[in-house]
Structure 1
Amino acid sequence: MSNVYILGGLRSPIGITNGIFKNILIEDLASKVIKDVIDKFKLKYIEEIVLGNSVGGGGNIARLCSLNADLNIPSYTIDMQCASSLESIAIGYSKIAAGLKDLILVGGVESTSMEPTRSYAKNHPKYSKNNKEYKVAKFSPENYDELVMIKGAERVAEKYEFTKEELDKYAIESHKKAMKARDSKVLSDIIAPINGIINDEGIRDNINERLLSKVKPILGKGNKITAGNSCLTHDGVAILVLCSEKYLKDNNIKGSFRIVDFEESAGNPDYSPEAALYSINVLLKSNNLTSDDISYFEVNEAFAVISALINKKYNINERLNIFGGALAYGHTYGASGGIITLHLLKALEVVKGKYGIASIASAGGLGVSMLIERI
């Protein structure tokens, strides 16, 4: 197998649903970032584009985005829900490692502001005059439930005996880290401005324990998951450049980050936040590493319980999401894996770390984790 490198990438600012990007078509948002990536890395040719997307209007969104960026090249879309863009990196990695390609753009695109309304077909058993539309896809064979992800997070919080106060602290810490990263501009060189916008919309400067203590549990009294310790939904794009060793040599480029390995896991769909932990466990074991060997972890914290769970297992709080996570920035679904990868590369660069892990839990009890080495 050939070595595979990440040259780098860019992401858009992250906007909340019906916020700063509410009127921007997903292909316009994505093509702007794609063009900026091409300019930044002086790419002369691209062989393929693979993008994740979860709640778009269907069809091959990656192809639409590439054509909108004036690129008539093979492009296709991956839907693995929350893990879509991280899996797009895995697919690009596999093709280059197998010697099939030398340069591929990967990542993800999402506009929750323009998420289409979904309707049951009249032949569907759930269809009725009073039940024509639905919001959330079905993730397991059991009865459909729009609160399935929240209920899964609640089950994990109960199983591992996390308190609401513990989870709230993770949310506050995430926002504080994100504020520090924003104010120091440490992420500025990986953010592609959109219509002059450079700042992420979801970071809350006034968040505190007193404020979160007043937020009621989503599933009712006695539960722990609230809107304060869960992410909101967002719009955003992340695009990364993957290349072969041959591409580096042909273009006289020194590689900075090498993809070492990927692992996917499948757990209980009723406890979906656990899936990130499972995939990290397998990734470390298969590469004969321990958590102590990893300089930094970037984990998509769709719920505070995910960060709490991983920190409880590995005691890595000082090495976990050092720029803040999805609790502050938001969850862009199909683009989130690309965003946490870009943040991980920046973290390794800043502290000159060696190994980093990006991990994400996905609807249906799936997890994806990637091991990166800074050269």
Structure 2
Amino acid sequence: MESVYILGGLRSHIGIKNGVFKNILPEKLGAEVLKELIFKYNLHNIDEIICGNAVGTGGNIARLMSLYAGVSEEVPAYTVDMQCGSGSMSIDMAFAKIRSGMCDLIIAGGFESSSLQPLRYYNKNDPRYSDEKPYFQVAQFSPYEDQENVMLMGAERVAQKYNMKKEELDFWVLESHKRAAKARNKRILNDIICSIGESDYDEGIRNRINQRLIDRLKPLVSENGFITAANSSLTNDGAAFVILCSERYIKNNKITQKAQIVQTALKGANPLYSPESSIIVTDELLKSRKMKYSDISAFEFNEAFAVIDVMFQRKNPTLIDRYNTLGGALAYGHPYSASGAIIMLHLLKSLEYVDGEYGITTVAAAGGIGSSILIKRS
């Protein structure tokens, strides 16, 4: 089987909903990043573009984005929808195609616009249709429930199941913003970010967040619940892509890779407790390689909720300095389908920052599916 490498990648700044990217179509936001990426790495002979999108207008929006970017019509581009895990799944699929020898160069990632998320309408013959509210924004992810706040409810159930304390969740809210602000001040991520339109910073990072502000926030799910606007990520706009290639492509083009993708894993979990899939799939990935958490230099988990952080910390109390070293989605935000590629780019920078060897990205997706990727820094 072919070895699979990461050449590099690029992301946009991450905008908050109705922020700097509020008037930019998601396919055009993705196209701008894709154009910059192809120019920066002087890419030729692209075999495929695999791209996640969860809340766009539907259709093969990745193909539309590719054409807007000026990519040759001969290059196929197609859309993946695994919700929060779409970007990670796109990388996973690209890995499999190159590893099997079917392709040599694939661009994978995702793009999203919460600002321009359309309302979708049920057909009147659909039993879920209601004259009072005929439209929906959040799809049904499991047969057990169909509510707009299903992801918040899943996080709340996990907090209750593990008897999490407010102090544990608050720690990660403050820590995520602190680490992200430090990374921004040190300009660690500058070479993987491109400005689109008037963007010049990630809008979600709060320099002045403090315990008093967190304490003012009311629970979002139930009166005595744990999940608040602080310990859940914002909805965002953004785009990110990673370049994957074969060893043959590297040799033929005399270029140097950033890392090797060693293994990927997908694992289902109870959809009512979807954040749990982050730990379940990471356990599975490490088991498949006969490795331990302590063998990994850096972890990048998609920090959709602080409950994910607390589960990791309880399992690995001595490894929290290796976890989301540059901050997580509680600070940067979570542009759904772009997040898998964003955290992969952050992982590459984290490994460089700590001079580490092995790294893991993990995303817990709606419906209870965990996606995890193990890489080895070159």
With the length of structure 1 as denominator, give the TM-score of the two structures: 0.98
Give the partner amino acid of 2:367. Answer: G
Deviation at 1:126, TM superposition (A): 2.1
Q: Is the 8 A contact 2:258 2:348 kept in 1?
A: no
User: Helix, strand or coil: the match of 1:82?
Assistant: helix
Q: Is the 8 A contact 1:119 1:133 kept in 2?
A: yes
Superposed, which structure 2 residues align to 1:290-369 within 5 Å?
Answer: 290-315=292-317, 316-369=319-372
Task: Choose 36-45 or 72-81, whichever is displaced more.
Answer: 36-45
Deviation at 1:28, TM superposition (A): 1.6
Structure 1 match to 2:184: 182
RMSD (CA atoms)? 0.9
User: Helix, strand or coil: the match of 1:253?
Assistant: coil
Task: Choose 293-302 or 133-142, whichever is displaced more.
Answer: 133-142
Distance 1:295 1:10 in 2: 22
Q: How many positions carry a matched residue from both structures?
A: 375
Structure 1 match to 2:216: 214
Structure 2 match to 1:272: 274
Structure 1 match to 2:125: 123
Superposed, which structure 2 residues align to 1:111-150 within 5 Å?
Answer: 111-150=113-152
Deviation at 1:47, TM superposition (A): 1.1
Percentage identity across aligned positions?
53
Deviation at 1:137, TM superposition (A): 0.6
User: Helix, strand or coil: the match of 1:273?
Assistant: helix
Superposed, which structure 2 residues align to 1:219-238 within 5 Å?
Answer: 219-238=221-240
Deviation at 1:27, TM superposition (A): 1.9
Distance 2:31 2:372 in 1: 27
Distance 1:214 1:165 in 2: 14
Deviation at 1:254, TM superposition (A): 2.4
Structure 2 match to 1:33: 33
Distance 2:230 2:351 in 1: 29
Structure 1 stretches lacking a partner, 5+ long: none
Give the partner amino acid of 1:136. Answer: V
Structure 1 match to 2:76: 74
Distance 2:85 2:290 in 1: 24
Deviation at 1:196, TM superposition (A): 4.3
Distance 2:338 2:308 in 1: 18
Q: Is the 8 A contact 1:14 1:200 kept in 2?
A: yes
Distance 2:199 2:260 in 1: 31
The match for 2:162 among 155, 160, 163 is: 160
Q: Is the 8 A contact 1:191 1:198 kept in 2?
A: no
Structure 2 match to 1:250: 252
1:202-226 deviation per Cα after TM superposition (whole angstroms, max 9, x unaligned): 1111101111011111123221110
Q: Is the 8 A contact 1:303 1:327 kept in 2?
A: yes
Distance 2:257 2:363 in 1: 25
Q: Is the 8 A contact 2:20 2:198 kept in 1?
A: no
User: Helix, strand or coil: the match of 1:254?
Assistant: coil
User: Helix, strand or coil: the match of 2:9?
Assistant: strand
User: Helix, strand or coil: the match of 2:217?
Assistant: coil
Give the partner amino acid of 2:6. Answer: I
**2:195 pairs with 1:193:** yes
Structure 2 stretches lacking a partner, 5+ long: none
Structure 1 match to 2:111: 109
Distance 1:75 1:47 in 2: 9
Distance 2:346 2:355 in 1: 14
Structure 2 match to 1:5: 5
